[in-house]
Structure 1
Amino acid sequence: MSEVRHEAVTTAPREKLFAYVDDYKNVPEYMLGVTSFEPTTDVVQGKGSVFAAALKVGPKELKSTVECTEWVENELIKLESVKGFGANTEWAFRDGDEPGTTVLSVVFDFTLPGGLAGKVLGGLIGPFADQAIKHIESKIRTAVEA
């Protein structure tokens, strides 16, 4: 299992930042490489909601089904892979030290397959993850600080 952590401070109110990240329709906009993120249940928000996701990493398209396993409004969203590519995401939101700021902490952890496929994918994921973090922060910041 590999893990990528990132923290950013924004000038957006916590409620606005949380609402943007929490809306599944925004995921392909801010998550680099995500080509689709669609609900597979009638529940489209919060604990128990399930989504089918497709992620393009280089020439490979990875598919995953993720379930929201923890959800606390304006504080936490945790998505865990239940099928396909093993990728989990945790978004945490808290007030910043400076008045009017919000701290967004995100953790991505993923499990690569074994063998040659895992080695090839591992070579793609490292550089992709660094680029993805910069893209995510930029897109979210633009959307919520405007």
Structure 2
Amino acid sequence: MGHIKYASDVGAPVEVAFTYTDNHLFVPNWMFGIVSFEPTGELDRGLGATFAAAVRLGLWRQTVTCEITEYRRNAVIGYTLRGRLTWTLTLRFDPLGYGRSALTSETEYSPPRGFAGRLCVGPVDSAAKSALRRTETQLRREIEEFHVTDLVGRIA
């Protein structure tokens, strides 16, 4: 199982960062490769909420299921995507003071199996690192932009 972790400083308080990340409507704006993210159950947020996520990476398209598998308000939210591969994205939010927070992005993924899978370990690891870095960078930008707009009070 592969594991990657990044941390960054976000120019928004934890409450704002978490509120933005917790809203399923914004997921396609920041999660790399996701073009749509629709609830499939009664819940649209919180532990146990499930979604149909359309993934598009180049010519490859697939719909995967996503479940919120870890959730603590204003602290952590974990997404588990299941398709051909299982990929878990965990986002942790910690206050830094002065309206700033630390965002820790962590992913775990299962590499392809079999002989062909062993040959692809390097490229899969490289692609996973790139995807997490792009996700983290875009999420940070989106949170900071969200924080300076007047939408914060209307969505929370």
What TM-score comes out, normalization by structure 1 length? 0.82
Q: Counterparts of 1:137 and 1:115 in 2: how far apart (Å)?
A: 30
Determine the structure 1 residue equivalent to 2:39.
Answer: 39
Deviation of the 1:12 alpha carbon = 0.7
Deviation of the 1:24 alpha carbon = 1.3
1:2-41 residue pairs with structure 2 within 5 A? 2-41=2-41
What TM-score comes out, normalization by structure 2 length? 0.78
Deviation of the 1:21 alpha carbon = 1.2
> Bigger CA drift: 80-89 or 17-26?
80-89
Deviation of the 1:35 alpha carbon = 2.4
Q: Counterparts of 1:57 and 1:141 in 2: how far apart (Å)?
A: 21
CA contact (8 A) 1:9 1:102 kept: yes
Structure 1 alignment gaps of length 5 or more: none
Residue aligned with 2:92, SS: strand
1:87–1:62 Cα change, 3 Å: farther
Residue identity opposite 1:114 in structure 2: R
1:4–1:132 Cα change, 3 Å: same
Which segments of structure 1 move beyond 6 Å, counting only runs of 4 or more?
Answer: none
Structure 2 alignment gaps of length 5 or more: 146-156
Residue identity opposite 1:2 in structure 2: G
1:84-95 residue pairs with structure 2 within 5 A? 84-95=84-95
1:113–1:14 Cα change, 3 Å: same
Task: Calculate percent identity across the aligned residue pairs.
Answer: 29
1:98-137 residue pairs with structure 2 within 5 A? 98-115=97-114, 118-119=117-118, 122-137=121-136
Residue identity opposite 1:102 in structure 2: S
Determine the structure 1 residue equivalent to 2:152.
Answer: none
Output one character per residue of 1:59-78: Cα deviation in whole Å (capped at 9) or x when no partner: 43454322212211111112
Q: Counterparts of 2:2 and 2:91 in 1: how far apart (Å)?
A: 17
Determine the structure 1 residue equivalent to 2:64.
Answer: 64
Residue identity opposite 1:134 in structure 2: R
C-alpha RMSD of the superposition: 2.4
Tell me how many residue pairs correspond in the alignment: 145
> Bigger CA drift: 42-51 or 135-144?
135-144
Residue aligned with 1:108, SS: strand
1:63–1:118 Cα change, 3 Å: farther
Q: Counterparts of 2:83 and 2:125 in 1: how far apart (Å)?
A: 22
CA contact (8 A) 2:6 2:133 kept: no
Determine the structure 1 residue equivalent to 2:74.
Answer: 74
> Bigger CA drift: 22-31 or 118-127?
118-127
